Chains A and B, each alone.
Chain A
Amino acid sequence: MMAILVDTRLLLRRVKDFRSLMPRRNRVKEKWAATRPKNPPTRLALQHFDATYSVQLGNLWPSVRVALLSERKYGALVNNFSYEAVLANLQAQGCRDFISDTHTETQSCFEQDKAVEADKELGVSMKTSVNNSQQHSALQLSPSIKCVVFPRGDITRFKPARPDMHGLLGYYLMDAASVLPCLALDVQEGHSVLDLCAAPGGKTLVLLQTQAIRFLCLNDVSVSRTLRLKRVLNSYVPKQFLSDEMLRITSFDGTKWAEVESNTFDRVIVDVPCTTDRHSLMEDDNNIFSKSRTAERRRLPQLQLELLLAGIKAACPGGEIVYSTCTLSQIQNLSVVEQAVYLARENHGIHLEVVSLRPLTHMFRKTFHFTPDLQLGEMVVPHLAANFGPIYMCKLKRLT
């Protein structure tokens, strides 16, 4: 009798481990070979980066390299739809909202005010300065986007977010630098917005936090990734905000978007697939630098160009487009934008203006490291003390 009791208890303990119920053949098991492949994709990626970025970034590269190879920092995007006092909780742990923080800093800190003024004085003769000040005020209009980070040099980690009473999670952990392209997009009340490569949903969530968007169109070429996007949205946003009148999720080929609709959206964000530098250095599985994906990798700049062009065509005249990647590569960043601007004018008669993001970078220079003097667009480079990025972004405005 005793033996049976003990047995059942043991059995129960076993059963608690649900994985033991899964047939062994269906469990995913990492490869445990005695020898690792001679040149794993992560190694190839590192060699590739060493060759290209040491030329492109010069003295900056060693410091970027060590940051890329070390643990990244996260930012927690506060979910306004959650009922919990998430922000206060996080702040009690020692984090700060880097978006609002800069506002107060620039207002309170005397030195910085002077610096801003000096900047403005320098730029008076230039036409962009008007633009700058306009953006300055415009950017302050989206106070509903809150992203908290631990202070510079602090390596504390965030705990996984917990669901509130409605099952919505309190915050979304993402690279804090990915919030910047969304801020740069500068969504205003009543806009219709297209996100051409939306999955896995971090940027989409940021856009939804504003609650200003009249119509949001989300697209991603991969069906499995759109499913993941839907899962993310469902666990962060209440159902009534995900209705068909406000949101459309599709899985088209983004490059052919013009065949569906063009000249419609006020804002378009094109967050293209790229070599995902940080990821490629860390993860061997499904790595873009693996031998079998060489052709795909070589085609990336072309794909990016096509996607950006599609995004440009989808925007209405006067609309704004933000192009962003998470790579440091010049070929995937500057060159793509340059070419797209050129091709849009030559082939489609669309004239574009590059909008300066200097005010934005100036605001957040305490939180992120930006590459100085980039001819086109802005780039966040990783640094050990502020290990965010890499993120490249460039904003274009359709004139015609």
Chain B
Amino acid sequence: MQNNITLQSAKENHELRPLAQKPDSELSLRSLLDMGFTDTQAEQICESVSKFRGGGFTKHALSSLTTLFGLGLNPTSVLKVLQKCPELYTVKESQLQQRIGNLRKVGFVEGSLQRLVVYYPQILTVPVKTIKNVVLFLREKCLFTVQQVTDILRDSPAIVQEDLGQVEYKFQYVYFRMGVKQAEMVKSRLFRFKLDEVRCRHCFLERRGLYETPDKKGQTFIINPKLDSFLKVAQDTFLTEVAKASAEEYSVFQRLMAREWQEEDRHHSRIEADSDDEEVEEDEDDEETSGKSGYRKQRKT
């Protein structure tokens, strides 16, 4: 089985020495050693490639390796990248080159491009079109500048695999509800955090009277803490420095909020489902929710 792979890869790679033509597992290891991998690294690669054997994509493994080397990564980084994201073995060389080219176009210069690939190799598995859409979305729907878009992709590349509807909701929550402008969002690395996390910390501060939504002119009665001062920090720091609350309070609050949002979602979906009826009402047979109107009296925020 192993032979198969080496045969295929050997056929493609003309630079390999004649020795590689022998259909032998030892030889494929050797070719990897020639690329600069250590013994153990080479074995690891062979092993992970063999896992993809069934897919029939193994012929791309070598081209992926060369492309990554072409980016200027050293063997250790290449191995790290492939361990983080073994799917890269299966991507066509032309696609890989295209995607790298696109990232350069988006604004990643040498150095930052390599750092991005090592930090989040999955970005090379995402089609060019998707990335273009994300960039367009950030530019047009959220009005980020070109530089800010690059910064967002650099700091939180996972955004390219998220649902853009959710991303937009998060952006609008932070923009309208919290009154935070784009520059500060980029600075605080907003898109690294889940919406619930952002919302929970914000609501906690708001209900404690430490955060206020600015009015039309951007004025508040109190000085709001900066987004990055309470988002980027660990929970302990958030509680002691910003919220000045106990961990017990926050843990209860998180659970309460989770339930509140769950109910809100259920309520909304119910409105949508019942939209042909004139009115939305409680399910009489749903004991879990009926008679809980007293509990549900929430402040409309």
Chain A residues proximal to chain B, CB less than 8 Å: 17, 19, 24, 27, 29, 36, 42, 50, 54, 61-63, 65-66, 69-72, 74, 153, 155, 157, 159-160, 173, 281-283, 383-385
Contact = CB atoms under 8 A, between A and B. Distances in A.
Contacts of A66: 204, 207-208, 245, 249, 253
Interface of B: 204, 207-210, 244-245, 248-249, 251-253, 255-256, 259-260, 278-279, 281, 287, 290-292, 294-295, 297-300
Given A27-B279, A54-B209, A70-B256, 6 more contacts: A29-B279, A62-B209, A155-B252, A155-B255, A159-B287, A384-B256
A20 B278 CA distance: 9
Q: Is the interface of A mostly helix, strand, loop or mixed?
A: loop
A248 B110 CA distance: 88
A298 B274 CA distance: 44
Contact of A71 (B208, B244, B281, B295): B295
A68 to B, nearest CB: 8
Contact of A385 (B249, B260, B294): B249
Contacts of B248: 153, 384-385
Given A71-B256, A385-B249, A65 B299 contact: no
A376 to B, nearest CB: 27
Given A160-B291, A282-B297, A153 B252 contact: yes
26 contacts: A19-B279, A24-B278, A27-B279, A29-B279, A36-B300, A50-B209, A62-B208, A62-B209, A62-B244, A63-B249, A66-B204, A70-B253, A71-B260, A72-B295, A153-B248, A153-B252, A155-B252, A157-B295, A159-B291, A282-B297, A282-B298, A283-B297, A383-B249, A384-B249, A385-B248, A385-B249
A160 B293 CA distance: 11
B253 A384 contact: yes
A163 to B, nearest CB: 13
Nearest to B255: A155
8 nearest interchain CB pairs? A160-B291, A62-B208, A66-B207, A69-B207, A384-B249, A384-B252, A66-B208, A282-B297
Contacts, number: 71
A399 to B, nearest CB: 42
A54 B209 CA distance: 10
B211 to A, nearest CB: 11
B253 A62 contact: no
Contacts of B291: 159-160
A44 to B, nearest CB: 13
A71 B252 CA distance: 11
Contacts of A36: 300
A371 B275 CA distance: 48
A155 B251 CA distance: 11
A66 B260 CA distance: 15
Contacts of A384: 248-249, 252-253, 256
Contact of A63 (B245, B278, B279, B281): B245
A342 to B, nearest CB: 35
A83 to B, nearest CB: 21
Contact of B207 (A27, A70, A160, A282): A70
Of A61, A157, A384, A385, most buried by chain B (CB within 10 Å of CB) is: A384
A17 B283 CA distance: 10
A349 B153 CA distance: 80
A26 B181 CA distance: 47
Contacts of B208: 62-63, 65-66
A153 B251 contact: yes
A62 to B, nearest CB: 4
Contacts of A160: 287, 290-292
Contacts of B287: 159-160
Nearest to B244: A62
B292 A157 contact: yes
A289 to B, nearest CB: 13
A62 B210 contact: yes
Nearest to A153: B252
Contacts of B245: 62-63, 66
Contacts of B252: 153, 155, 384-385
A357 to B, nearest CB: 26
Given A384-B249, A385-B249, A155 B256 contact: yes
A65 B204 CA distance: 10
A155 B259 contact: yes
Contacts of B244: 62
Contacts of B207: 65-66, 69-70
Contact of A65 (B209, B256, B260, B290): B209
Contacts of A383: 249
Nearest to A162: B287
A157 B294 CA distance: 11
Contacts of B281: 17, 19
A19 B295 CA distance: 23
A29 B279 CA distance: 9
